[in-house]
């Protein structure tokens, strides 16, 4: 795979999709705004990288399941106004319209999860294109999109672009594009490489030997059937470790056998895919600086998927808490009720990123990559007061 070559070619497609006619610059006191539509839409994937497997015939760690959010701002009034109803927001992926011919997930869904899904339809009933729904947190979303990292021509691309189109009474009010990152580069085979058996068989056998289970005879195995996994809403079995605690805890003392600059990439995507590709990565701040080491992530006292790093672990700003209390970055709002992601991007892909595709949205909306710091992206009239970061001034 050549992510960069691929990304380069999507730049051309973006111009075509949005329509160069819309790239009108509205220069003002607050700087240029590139796309001049009545509304402005910001869209992001909830995770900086969603991991899934290609092959589900032996076990399931994570299924195809991406979740895309959008927030829409009306610029036609004096002050920006977050639009919460009356919209039709559609999403689709150019050149990536199918999923069931790219992974065998739809062959094993019944055996693994007890549901027989229609091919190309994901676990929440959503497909590769559709209409977003309102959330209680003042934005719109589409969850469980079953996208894979392979386009319709068979090329691998972990950074596919979604086109989000906002309509009101049938009229296009705004459009944007965002990366919906997905990868199946989960490299268990770096260590589980016993000759003559698949990595998955090696893993199931090791589990059976060490924990007196009979998983090899029960394939396909749903790991979260026993190990609780909040990401899948799976309660697991009483007394068995959570999936995250089991994986990170058990492997904490096994990592010195892999020769990787970032050992987390032994299992997280990856060596080729850039799971973390944000401004912190560019500054040399990687996984363990924020998350701690394997033992810290595997600490049974941690709540997986809930107890995550916070911006305030490192940044400080008098009077600003960064994330809202009790909420993750991806669910928090700042300035005037705008979601953090609208200005900063997805976790692990906070702009400016080292990948071109993740910078496109900001470039299209304000003419340059990085945090949305161009007031006129949302304010039609130049604001009378200074920028404030917190939700309420």
Name residues contacting ligand HEC, limited to 257-276 (CB under 6 A).
Answer: 257-258, 262-264, 266-268, 275-276
* Options 1, 111, 250, 354; binder of ligand HEC; rule CB under 6 A: 250
Point out the residue whose Cβ comes nearest to ligand HEC. Answer: 336
Q: Are 142 and 126 in contact (CB under 8 A)?
A: yes
Residue ranges in 211-240 that form contacts with ligand HEC under rule CB under 6 A: 211, 213, 215, 221, 223, 225-227, 229, 231, 240
Residue ranges in 294-313 that form contacts with ligand HEC under rule CB under 6 A: 294, 297, 304-305, 308-309, 311, 313
Structure tokens at 122: 């994901």
CB of 13 to ligand HEC, least distance (A): 25
Q: Is 283 in the site for ligand HEC (CB under 6 A)?
A: yes
Please report where in the chains the tokens 């912190």 appear, as a residue.
280
Please report where in the chains the tokens 């402005």 appear, as a residue.
40
Structure tokens at 239: 């007394």
CB of 356 to ligand HEC, least distance (A): 19
Q: Is 140 in the site for ligand HEC (CB under 6 A)?
A: no
Q: How far apart are CA 69 and CA 135, in angstroms?
A: 9
Structure tokens at 82: 């977050």
Q: Is 322 in the site for ligand HEC (CB under 6 A)?
A: yes
> Which distant-in-sequence residues (6+ apart) come within 8 Å of 39 by Cβ?
72, 73, 74, 75, 76, 83, 166, 168, 173, 174
Q: Is the dihedral of CA 184, 94, 86, 76 positive or negative?
A: positive
Q: Is 33 in the site for ligand HEC (CB under 6 A)?
A: no
Q: Is 387 in the site for ligand HEC (CB under 6 A)?
A: yes
CB of 23 to ligand HEC, least distance (A): 18
Structure tokens at 31: 């700087």
Q: Is 369 in the site for ligand HEC (CB under 6 A)?
A: no
CB of 183 to ligand HEC, least distance (A): 11
Q: Is 352 in the site for ligand HEC (CB under 6 A)?
A: no
Q: How far is CA 269 from CA 274, 282, 306, 319, in A?
A: 7, 17, 21, 36
* Options 207, 349, 355, 356; binder of ligand HEC; rule CB under 6 A: 207
């Amino acid at each position: 795979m050549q992510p960069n070559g691929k990304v380069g070619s999507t730049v051309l497609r973006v111009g075509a999709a949005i329509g160069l006619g819309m790239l009108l610059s509205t220069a003002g006191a607050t700087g240029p705004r590139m796309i001049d539509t009545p509304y402005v839409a910001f869209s992001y994937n909830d995770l900086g990288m969603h991991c899934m497997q290609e092959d589900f015939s032996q076990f399931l760690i994570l299924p195809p399941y991406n979740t895309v959010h959008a927030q829409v701002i009306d610029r036609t009034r004096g002050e920006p106004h977050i639009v919460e109803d009356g919209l039709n927001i559609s999403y689709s992926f150019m050149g990536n319209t199918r999923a069931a011919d790219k992974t065998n997930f739809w062959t094993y869904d019944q055996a693994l999860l007890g549901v027989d899904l229609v091919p190309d339809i994901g676990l929440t009933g959503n497909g590769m294109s559709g209409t977003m729904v309102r959330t209680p947190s003042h934005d719109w979303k589409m969850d469980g999109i079953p996208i894979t990292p392979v386009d319709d021509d068979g090329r691998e691309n972990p950074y596919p672009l979604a086109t989000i189109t906002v309509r009101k009474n049938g009229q296009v009010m705004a459009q944007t594009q965002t990366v919906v990152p997905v990868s199946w580069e989960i490299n268990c085979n770096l260590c589980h490489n016993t000759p003559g058996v698949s990595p998955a068989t090696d893993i199931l056998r090791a589990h059976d030997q060490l924990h007196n289970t009979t998983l090899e005879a029960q394939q396909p195995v749903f790991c979260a059937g026993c190990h609780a996994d909040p990401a899948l809403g799976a309660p697991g079995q009483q007394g068995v470790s959570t999936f995250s605690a089991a994986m990170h805890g058990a492997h904490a003392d096994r990592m010195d056998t892999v020769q990787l600059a970032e050992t987390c990439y032994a299992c997280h995507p990856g060596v080729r895919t850039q799971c973390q590709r944000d401004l912190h990565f560019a500054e040399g701040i990687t996984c363990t600086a924020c998350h701690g080491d394997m033992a810290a992530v595997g600490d049974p006292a941690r709540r997986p998927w809930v107890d995550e790093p916070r911006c305030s672990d490192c940044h400080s700003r008098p009077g600003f808490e960064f994330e809202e209390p009790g909420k993750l970055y991806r669910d928090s709002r700042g300035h005037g009720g705008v979601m953090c992601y609208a200005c900063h991007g997805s976790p692990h892909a906070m702009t400016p990123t080292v990948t071109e595709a993740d910078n496109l949205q900001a470039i299209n909306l304000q003419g340059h990559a990085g945090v949305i710091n161009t007031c006129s992206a949302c304010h039609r009239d130049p604001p009378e007061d200074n920028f404030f970061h917190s939700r309420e001034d």
